[in-house]
Amino acid sequence: MKKKKIMIIGVMIILAVIIVGVMAVYQSIRWSEKSFEATVQKIVTQPDGEVRLIVQRTTEIYGSPINSLGISENTKLLGGDGKEIAITDFQQGNAVTVILKDAFTEETPYYYPTVYKVKIMDTDK
């Protein structure tokens, strides 16, 4: 009887450790991921061909509400229906949701976030 209790407690401890481990691994993937809502101000193409989306945040997660987002070939650009669109489909005034990696570190002298996804929130604009 005593062996069964010890065995049950041991199995429960092992399961708890496994669950906590899985949760820690899943959460660590998203530690640096941020999301916010913004309004598109303009699209800027740099002389070197880099495309930047200038937005004004409507949900404040940083000190300044203006942000310049670098759009790469890895950035998913989605319309209100969830289908992929081109950068030229964004119009001034579009409300968007932005998901990015918070890339500010002591080694990086400037703030250049990695933009994962920009999605238009409203389809009537």
Q: What is the pLDDT of residues 19-55, one digit of tens each?
A: 988 887 766 556 667 788 888 998 888 888 888 888 8
Q: Residue 72 is encoded by which pair of tokens?
A: 């790469």
* Same domain (yes/no): 17, 27: yes
Amino acid at 22: V
Asked if residue 89 and residue 47 are part of one domain, the reply reads yes
| Tens-digit pLDDT profile for residues 87-118 | 889 889 999 988 887 655 444 445 566 788 99
In this predicted structure, what is the pLDDT of residue 16? 92
In a domain, 43, yes or no: yes
Looking at the 3D structure of the chain, how many domains does it have?
2
The reply to whether 14 and 72 lie within a common domain is no
Domain annotation covers residue 125: no
| Percentage of residues of the chain with pLDDT beyond 90 | 12
The answer on pLDDT for 125 being more than 60 is no
Give the per-residue pLDDT at 66.
Answer: 62
- 8 within some domain: yes
Residue from 64, 46, 51, 54 nearest 93 by CA: 54
The verdict on 80 and 107 lying in the same domain is yes
User: What per-residue confidence (pLDDT) applies to 108?
Assistant: 46
**By the 8 A CB rule, do 113 and 72 touch?**
no
Residue type at 76? K
Report pLDDT for 37: 87
